Structure 1
Amino acid sequence: MATQLLVPPHACDSHLHVFDPRFREILPADDMGAISCTASAYARVQQALKVDRAVVVTPRNYDTDNAVTLDAIAQIGVDRARGVAVLRPDVDDSTLVRLNAQGIRGVRFTLYTPEHAPTSFDMIEPIAARIKDLGWHVQLHWTADQVVAHEELLGRLPLDIVFDHLGRLPVARGLDHPAAAIIERLMRDGRAWMKLSAPYLDSLVGSDGAYADVDRAARHWIKVAPERVVWGSDWPHTSLKQPPDTALLMEKLFSWVEDQASLDRILASNPARLYWGTA
């Protein structure tokens, strides 16, 4: 970690999941499945990272039951935590109002493996219409090819779009993949955000190579739209049989930024705007 850089006050981990055995998992997953990674366990990680704020994202394992996420937000404190839910278009208005009061600020569509998804592409526009006036966003965990296939849909959405996990660009093509240009245009136009998270998902060199094959894409997103990027740990890293030390992923972020001002923006002021509606 570059010693001249420091985690700023009010820093936010903008992407983590909580799995709690008090809440029954509903859907099968191609990850670690039924594990116990509770909000209290995350509190130790949060302390190690020196971050004050957190964004809890409902794992697909719970389908549209967001109770585990709401419970985690309450444990962390709604003043210091926000959430991203999984919902379908039939959600009623009173539920949306309640979720907003409990800290939810977006709806996630995890469609990179559609056969395991609790939602579908045809649900995105109806949900967007329902949540727009709440000031929420849609969060998309898609493949790069799916971004290209649904470019027109992305252009029609009337609210902010948050792309998960560095845009899931395959490293063999990287920024040459046509999805990169689509995402960049949306970010430059102030319509999309990028989460600098989970570099291991597409890296071919892995932890032994410090995920160096995703460095170019990460630095590109920071350069083209520095006011539209946030960082997330993706704790507890359920896609990996041997999860990395989460603190090392924070060090990876430090290697992507050029100065303290950039780090402050990514960890503090950008998530404050996106999730708390403040500068």
Structure 2
Amino acid sequence: MTGAFIEPPIIDTHCHVFVKSMPFTDTAWTRPDYEYPAEAYLKELDTHGIAFGVVTAASLYGDYNDYTLAVLAQHKRLRATVMLDPDTKPAELVTLRQQGVCGVRFQISPHDSLPDLEGYQFRRFIRRLADAGMHIELNLNGPQLARMLPALEAQGIDVVVDHFGLLRSEKEMEGEGFLAMLRAIDKGRTWVKISAGFRLPPDSLQSYAQRLLEVAGPERMFWGSDAPFVGWEDKMSYAQTLETYYHIIPDARVRRQISDAAMRFYFY
């Protein structure tokens, strides 16, 4: 790619921002000893010609959303997902939506059980999110995705699946989670992020992206960097994530369609 101009994405739909004063959950899988404030992230965006970004809730901090909300108030070029208690009241959801919160991220340990998907509390929560114009963002393993996605289909809520739908799944593109995601995408209310590719087998990334393009099309795909690459800080840079993106999606017109889809979803 060196020596040739490549139009950058318009929007990065997956990053995490945090400062040292934020509290870790008791079950945090890692505890970064550095901070990555919004200003550092925005500097990366500006360096690489990217106009907009989406802050994704990090499981390390649970439902401590205070810093993210402060960032949204200061930077109108950003949107965010948060983590919330399922008993969150409708008025709070409306306020969060007005502040730039687009959805709620749902992530549990691969070893934990899903909530009662047919139970009142879960269904009420999903209905309230949909009523507030929010989506639900899933970072789950294959069996969890295979159960969760059909349960969401009848709830009238938009769904975004993180990290190719493959980060925690077994059997790659033949696994039950990935196949469930493809079926959900086909029904029209599910999107997938091609994000955190560096956490997946590098030799398979292009075939993953091609399969998603064939089934989902660029209108159902978003690109995300996963900055600041927690756990991979010394092995990954923002420029490298872009190089990977340009490699696995080599057609500039398709990349533009992916950006346009994300802008419609998160900003318009």
The answer, yes or no, to whether TM exceeds 0.5 is: yes
RMSD: 2.4
In 1, are the aligned partners of 2:194 and 2:221 still within 8 Å (CA)?
Answer: yes
- The equivalent residue for 2:146 is 148
1:81 pairs with 2:78: yes
Q: Which amino acid aligns with 1:25?
A: F
Q: CA deviation at 1:126?
A: 2.9
SS in structure 1 opposite 2:47?
A: helix
Segment of structure 1 superposing worse, 63-72 or 120-129: 120-129
Q: CA deviation at 1:86?
A: 0.3
How many angstroms apart in 2 are the aligned matches of 1:240 and 1:135? 34
Query: Matched residues, percent identical?
Result: 27
Q: CA deviation at 1:218?
A: 1.9
Structure 2, unpaired ranges of 5+? none
TM-score, normalisation: structure 1:
0.85
- The equivalent residue for 1:47 is 46
Q: Which amino acid aligns with 1:253?
A: Y
Q: How many residues align?
A: 263
User: Could you list the per-position Cα deviations for residues 153-183 of structure 1 after superposition, in whole angstroms to 9, with x for gaps in the alignment?
Assistant: 1333321110000102568732122322221
Alignment of 1:14-163 (within 5 A): 14-75=13-74, 77-78=75-76, 80-113=77-110, 120=115, 122=117, 124-163=122-161
Alignment of 1:207-218 (within 5 A): 211-218=202-209
Work out which structure has the larger RCO, using CA pairs closer than 8 Å and 6 or more positions apart in sequence. Answer: 1
- The equivalent residue for 1:272 is 263
TM-score, normalisation: structure 2:
0.88
User: 4+ residue runs of structure 1 moved beyond 4 angstroms?
Assistant: 119-124, 169-172
How many angstroms apart in 1 are the aligned matches of 2:228 and 2:115? 25
Structure 1, unpaired ranges of 5+? 204-210
Q: Which amino acid aligns with 2:139?
A: H
Segment of structure 1 superposing worse, 27-36 or 227-236: 27-36
How many angstroms apart in 2 are the aligned matches of 1:73 and 1:170? 29
Given the superposition, is the C-alpha separation of residues 242 and 171 from structure 1 closer, same or farther in structure 2, using an over 3 Å criterion?
farther
In 2, are the aligned partners of 1:169 and 1:180 still within 8 Å (CA)?
Answer: no
Q: Which amino acid aligns with 1:37?
A: Y
Q: CA deviation at 1:54?
A: 0.5
Segment of structure 1 superposing worse, 167-176 or 130-139: 167-176
Q: Which amino acid aligns with 2:90?
A: D
Given the superposition, is the C-alpha separation of residues 48 and 242 from structure 1 closer, same or farther in structure 2, using an over 3 Å criterion?
same
How many angstroms apart in 1 are the aligned matches of 2:25 and 2:240? 32
Q: Which amino acid aligns with 1:98?
A: T
